[in-house]
Chains A and B, each alone.
Chain A
Amino acid sequence: MTTAAPATTTQVYRVFIKATPEQIWEAITDPDFTERYFYGVRIDTKPQIRVTHSEGLSGEDPVFEWDPPKRLVHGWRSKWNPELSVEEPSRVTWEIERGEDGISLLTVVHDQLEGAPKTAASVAGPGWMRVLSGLKTLLETGAPMA
């Protein structure tokens, strides 16, 4: 049995949201949504490529799987910090499951972090949970969390 380490190489985050999978998919892939919960970053995700824009920094990551509104898999490099951006790319998987009661389960798996220990520490715990908490607030109340 292992206990949770501060920064594991496979990180799993979940949140239940009162929204349809289609609404959650749009909030994940449309930059007009992402800038209101993803640390202000505009993220435009298309079937082949994920483009990020934030305060003069921009970047592109490959999209490996595009299956709306259920599953999105893309590469990840932490472009906001020079020390992190030189690490190996990792991988992020978004899974959306429709519930029977109008509530969907969103699961984010950030893995393949073996070659990116600083990124793993940076995104761990509150890093990802602030994003998912903000996404839930935005979809359920129509306003950003902060």
Chain B
Amino acid sequence: MTTITEVQTTQVYQVFIKATPEAIWDAITKPEFTSKYFFGSEIESTFEPGARYVQWAPEREREWVEGEIVESDPPRRLVHTWLSLWDDDQGREQPSRVTWEIDAGDDGVSLLTVVHDRLEDAPKTAASVSGGWMRILSGLKTLLETGEPL
């Protein structure tokens, strides 16, 4: 396919998960969880504002994603910048931004919202991640609800 479709510079993804905000926060911030739904990638960060955010390739062969923590308010909100390093062309683009928001429901079901924005100067990243985020969120939900990877 050579057709170029419009890729949005603000991308919003949502999923409802039968889990507490604390459980979802752990799944987002701990490498033993991320390796089971984030394309095998382990996360590394102290999650202090200004700290580095890294998503390692499996076996820590290389960095897939690099960024910086902008905001961290467990278990509700995490904001970090995003530079895709798994592809050289994307690695030369400008960093974009990812915001994770967790809203507790009254029925034991939480809403997880991921906003990937500031993609105006990262069109290749925008196109690349648009097919990946729902796979990640679907896998995160399955892992928390069944204990098994998707």
Contacts and interface: CB of A to CB of B under 8 A. Distances in A.
- B and A form one assembly: yes
Interface of A: 1-4, 14-18, 103, 125-126, 129-130, 133-134, 136-137, 140-141, 145-146
Contacts of B105: 146
B30 interface: no
- Say what secondary structure dominates the interface of chain B: mixed
Contacts of B17: 133
Nearest to A103: B150
A94 B146 CA distance: 25
A38 B124 CA distance: 36
A3 B8 contact: yes
Interface stretch (B58-66, B75-83, B85-93, B137-145): B137-145
Contacts of B9: 1, 3
Q: How large is the interface on B (under 10, 10 to 19, 20 to 34, 35 or more residues)?
A: 20 to 34
A12 B150 CA distance: 22
B127 interface: no
A129 B150 contact: no
Given A18-B150, A145-B18, A146-B108, A136 B138 contact: yes
B94 interface: no
B134 A15 contact: yes
Contacts of B51: none
A3 B116 CA distance: 11
12 contacts: A1-B9, A3-B9, A4-B8, A15-B134, A16-B134, A129-B16, A133-B16, A137-B18, A137-B145, A145-B109, A146-B18, A146-B109
A74 B22 CA distance: 39
A15 B15 contact: yes
